[in-house]
Amino acid sequence: MPKKTLRRAIFAVLLPLAAALTPVAGADAAVPQAAAGATIQNDVFWKDTSGNPVYSQGGGVLKVGGTYYWYGVRYGGAVSYYSNPAAGKNSNTSFSAITIYSSTDLANWKLEGNALTAADLGGAGWVGRVGVARNAATGKFVLISQLDGGLVFATSSTPNGHFTRAGTQSSIGGVSTGMSGDQSVFTDDDGKAYLVYSNKSGRSHLYVSPLRTSDFLHVETATNVFNSSSGGREGNIMFKQNGTYYFCSSDLHGWNASHTYCITAKNIMGPYSAEFVLQGTDADFSHVTQTGLAFTVTGSAGSFVMFGGDRWSDFAGNGIGYNDWVPVTFSGTTPVFRSLSQWTVDAAAGTWSVGGGNNYVLNPGAEADRVAQSALAGWTTTGGTVNSNSLGGHTGRWAITQSSSSAYTASRYQNILLPNGTYTLSAWVKSSGGQKKATVFAKNFGGSEVNSSINRSIGSWTKVTVSGITVTNGSIQVGVFSDANAGNWVNVDDFSLTQGG
């Protein structure tokens, strides 16, 4: 088959919609499939090039020459959660250090050292939301972070050196509460740098402030660019595409995952558009993350925006991993979030592709939803409130549940568009047993339904697998079904649908 024909014939993972196989509105129908490049694997704890855990949360990335430098915070609770995620979330936000990692391929990160330590900041309480920019006038790299109730500035002559504390700031002019809430640093094409943030209390006001041009060691008076009427906004980030600024934030959900909300403008100071939800973030709440960082990857053959999602699993208990990065592409002027568990990136070319091991199920472990409820993001049900989620998942806090004190028939399923090929479906299950029928199933893929029966007593989490699923029509439905007697129940967690097998 000619290459062009093959490319047109294959589909990418798109937002599964309830009961209808419809691609993301406005999105292109196909995205690149597995190709050469460095592999980014999400939904795991990242390791650095020495094999040690990457500890970098609430940070930012700065490119210097051909190298990307990633700055973020190492918290005490991140270390303990990594060591034993089964123990659940914790509240240990104690500050260890602002770490520096470097990479040329955006997948393999080398620990350069610590930009600042607890000793440098005098036994600080809260430290977070770190960004770095280079000031052209001084030649210094300037680090800005929250420090307790204010801001701290530090400088270094190199991007990977130990930074020297250079000052603090306790208030910002023009801000309703006098100080920033969540924030990030954005450097424009002309080298000017800005703080992008919400106010400290309530966080319903969004602001942009220039950093002082002479040295970046002061945040200038704020411009209030947007006020939310539907709750606070946090995790504020900014990226730019074809002359348009995109200011994006998450819901005020504490440490939990969220849709991503965006406003746009042609001038960084506004006026900004009405708020909209970033396409592709609805079905799994931004791949079970909160907006954390963003930067544009530009190469010899293309460009895309890197969305770095913070998964605060140490403080929310919502699964495995702290860092989940995905590409954001554009359909015209509309940004589209590509929720991928595995993908490849060619940083030099500015291109990306879906990884061969990508899990095509969105919200596979019910972790996006945060609270107990019947309707789960990304999933469709029959049987009503017999379907729910429950605490005590295989990984993370939550699992999909079907149960009732009366006899019932129920299903929870997801329709997925994907390339034709052979796939393996798996899930982790518990079951009371005794159902007339209970299955983890796959159907509507161009062949007869295939499933794994779970209508037996399964007292501990057990993996079930359905392999050799040959998709011929570019789509599939996967889920769990029960035809049950009163008191019967099943719990299902960590669905996976990957190519191969």
Tokens of 156: 């270094």
From 230, 268, 227, select the one nearest 247 (Cα to Cα). 268
One-letter identity of residue 162: H
From 293, 382, 255, select the one nearest 68 (Cα to Cα). 293
pLDDT of residue 205: 97
Tokens of 269: 């100071």
User: By the 8 A CB rule, do 410 and 481 touch?
Assistant: yes
Q: Exposed e or buried b for every residue in 87-123, given b needs 16+ CB within 10 A?
A: eebbeebbbbbbbbbbbebbbbbebbebbbbbebbee
pLDDT of residue 35: 61
pLDDT of residue 345: 98
Alpha helices in 301-442 (DSSP H): 313-316
Task: Report the alpha-carbon distance of residue 263 to residue 249 in Å, rounded.
Answer: 9
Question: Phi, psi at residue 156, to the nearest 5°?
Answer: -150, 150
Tokens of 54: 């990457």
Walk along the chain (501 residues) and give the pLDDT tens digit of each residue.
444 333 333 333 333 333 333 333 333 335 676 566 899 999 999 999 999 999 999 999 999 999 999 999 999 999 999 999 999 999 999 999 999 999 999 999 999 999 999 999 987 899 999 999 999 999 999 999 999 999 999 999 999 999 999 999 999 999 999 999 999 999 999 999 999 999 999 999 999 999 999 999 999 999 999 999 989 999 999 999 999 999 999 999 889 999 999 999 999 999 999 999 999 999 999 999 999 999 999 999 999 999 999 999 999 999 999 999 999 999 999 999 999 999 999 999 999 999 999 999 999 999 999 999 999 999 999 999 999 999 999 999 999 999 999 999 999 999 999 999 999 999 999 999 999 999 999 999 999 999 999 999 999 999 999 999 999 999 999 999 999 999 999 999 999 999 996
Q: In terms of pTM, does the model score above 0.85?
A: yes
Q: Long-range contact list for 156-161, CB < 8 A, 24+ apart?
A: 156/115, 159/62, 159/64, 159/67, 159/69, 159/100, 159/102, 159/132, 159/134, 160/69, 160/100, 160/102, 160/112, 160/113
Could you tell me the domains of the chain? 1-33+356-501 (2.60.120.260), 34-354 (2.115.10.20)
User: Cα–Cα distances in Å, from 341 out to 170, 273, 284, 320, 358?
Assistant: 40, 31, 12, 12, 5
pLDDT of residue 37: 87
pLDDT of residue 124: 80
pLDDT of residue 350: 97
Tokens of 190: 């002309």
